[in-house]
Every structure is written in structure tokens, then in C-alpha cells.
Amino acid sequence: AAAEKNGFDHFMLKEMHEQPQAYRDTLSGRMGEHGIVSLDELGMTDEAIAAIRAIHIVGCGTAYHAGLAGKGALEKLAGLPVETDLASEYRYREPLVMPGTLLIAVSQSGETADTLAAVREAKRRGALILAITNVVGSSLTREADHTLFTWAGPEIAVASTKAYTTQLLAFYMLAIHLAEKRGVGERGRLAELSRELQQLPDKVERVVAGSAAVQTMARRIAQAQSLFFIGRGPDYAVAMEGSLKLKEISYIQSEAYAAGELKHGTLALIEQDVPVVALATQPALLEKTASNVKEVKARGAYVYGLVMEGHEALEDTFDEVLTLPATDPLLAPAISVVPLQLLAYYTAVERGNDVDKPRNLAKSVTVE
């Protein structure tokens, strides 16, 4: 087993370190002419793409969180209305599947029962199905009309890392591809994003290599009874994933909150020394997030900020800052989630937990 872990203490650590390569593999061969991402491999005709009127996204757990981040990118670039649902909710909520609905099912394993059931329900209602999955030949690929593979390689740790981040890349590529084919959005912008995507592997490599700062942070977080992750827009989607990761393996109670929503209730839970992880990677939302940080600090919270290089001016807002390699704000989740994965990992190790096999959880859930 030690050999399988390639010298790493746990599969999760190995898989986090594999992310730069997983990014490269997932992006590889998916660049079209004019330097714009192309997914012609999906086999979706131009007519089929032009006929899309709405997108529904379903998934469970981490895959659902990828779908929340994916929604933002698809709406912004492809200009289509997008809803993201938990597969187990979608299935029973009698979803309104209008003509021209594309359902995107996200699943690392391609075997999650709730996700497969949601796909069948959407199909019955007339949706076209696109799968985003990591497993060739999985049940989901057989149910779907089209499949977009993430090339993350096998993921063993129950807590998903490289599968989630490559799902983000799949969404970004899909959003660019649909925008290009539908003739919406400026081609220069799509080319710029395509270029930025190619730079993500090297940037993530830097984040993984710089994990010492996160280890220090983990020693303090490991003592906490509870904590919060806050953010706006894409940062909120990442906050949810960071919080889930931490709960899954450290067993510390944690909540993800939209930063602007704190004052409507959760602020009541902020007491002296409660750790708050504030994601602040979105230039357009920085001022607002900074004022939310002031709200929690005024109540005694100890705030860690995640900011992109170039926004160091914000440093005074936080008690401690982790600076991330800068990228286009739209793509920031593919970088900012990585320190949160590392944080969950090192916190769980600090607490002596079985990182790769957290209690009560299974890698793949094939019952509904």
C-alpha cells in the first residue's frame, strides 16, 4: 500500500499533489483553432448546441459543489440560464424541463445512484444529457447522450480533490466551447480565458508546493470547536467545498456562508476566537467582502483571508493572509480551493483521524 501511495502518507495527499498533472491531462487535446478551447470530441452538432435554451446541473456532494461553480461560468460565458440541484432533490421536485434543456450530470465515479436517477428523470422529461465524469465505461456514460471526461486518474481517498478540480476545468472548457459555438461573447475574451486555463497547472503546482503556511494554519484550526468559510459569487461556491472537505475528514463543525448573508442570522454564532476563512479572490466584490470581514472581526473572529496576488492592499483587513497566484476571477476556484483541501487534510492529520477513510462515508454511494 505504501508503494501505491508513492511515498506520500495518504492517498489524499498524493492526489492533491497530482492536481497539476490532472489539470494538464484534462486540458490536453482540447484546444481548437484561434487559441480557443474546443470540445468537438463531444459530438454535439452545431444545431444541437444552438437549440439549447436552458441548462440544469445535478450532482451529489463534491460534484454538486462543482456544479455550483460551473453555473456561474456557463451563465457568464454561454449566456444561458442555469440551475444547479442536488441530484436527490432534483429527482423528486418535478423539475420543469422545457424544450431545449441540457442536463449536465456531474459524477466522479459515474455510479452514484441519486445522480443516475436524476438523469433518468430528466431524460423522461425530454432533456438532452451530458455527463461530466472521471470513469470511462461507467453507468453514467451509458445513460448520457454525450460525455466529457475529466482525466484526473483514479481517486482513492474518500474526500475528493483532483476529481473536483478537474470538474471545474470541464465546466470552464464547456462554457467556452458553448459560447464559441453559439456565437456569444467576444472571441478575444474566449481566447484569453483559454490561455489562462493553460497556465493553471503551473499555478496550482506553486500552491501545492507552498503548503507550509497552510500547515501552520491547520495547527490552530485543529483546536477549534467550529468555524466558518465565507465568500461571494465563485468564492461562495468554493467556501462550500472547503467547508465540506474540512467536515468530512476533520469532524469539526463548519459552515459555509455567503458573505452578504451573515448579518441575516449566522453572525449570531461568531464569538471570540472563532476562526473564519474568508475567500476574497473576486476584484468586483472585494470591498463588500472586506466589509463583511470587518463585521466578524468586530465580534472577535480570527480571520484568514485568501486573496490573489496583486490585492495585497487587502492584507490589513485580515488577521492572516494566504496569497494565491493570480488568474482570471472566473477561473479562481480552480486555484483557491487547493489550499482549502490542504487545510482539511492537515487539520485531520493533526487530529489523528483516518484521513483516507473517514467514518461513516463511502467513496461511491450506489443506494438512493
Using CB under 6 A, list all residues that contact ligand G6P: 60-63, 107-109, 112, 115, 158, 160, 361-365
Exactly one of 76, 123, 357, 363 is catalytic; name it.
363
Beta strand 146-149 with 101-107 is unpaired
Question: Which are the contacts of 277, defined by CB distance < 8 A and separation ≥ 6?
Answer: 227, 228, 229, 230, 239, 242, 303, 304, 306, 340, 343
Rank residues 63 and 237 by Cβ distance to ligand G6P and give the closer one.
63
Rank residues 62 and 336 by Cβ distance to ligand G6P and give the closer one.
62
Give min distance, CB of 88 to ligand G6P, in A. Answer: 11
Rank residues 63 and 270 by Cβ distance to ligand G6P and give the closer one.
63
Rank residues 62 and 317 by Cβ distance to ligand G6P and give the closer one.
62
**Residue 363: active-site member:** yes
Rank residues 84 and 108 by Cβ distance to ligand G6P and give the closer one.
108
Give min distance, CB of 237 to ligand G6P, in A. Answer: 14
Closest CA to 172 of 188, 156, 194: 194
Q: What is the dihedral of CA 343, 344, 346, 348, to 10 degrees?
A: 160
Give min distance, CB of 299 to ligand G6P, in A. Answer: 33
Rank residues 112 and 281 by Cβ distance to ligand G6P and give the closer one.
112
- Contact in structure between 162 and 16 (CB atoms under 8 Å): yes
Give min distance, CB of 65 to ligand G6P, in A. Answer: 8
Give min distance, CB of 13 to ligand G6P, in A. Answer: 16
Give min distance, CB of 341 to ligand G6P, in A. Answer: 12
The residue number with the shortest CB distance to ligand G6P is 61
Catalytic residues: 363
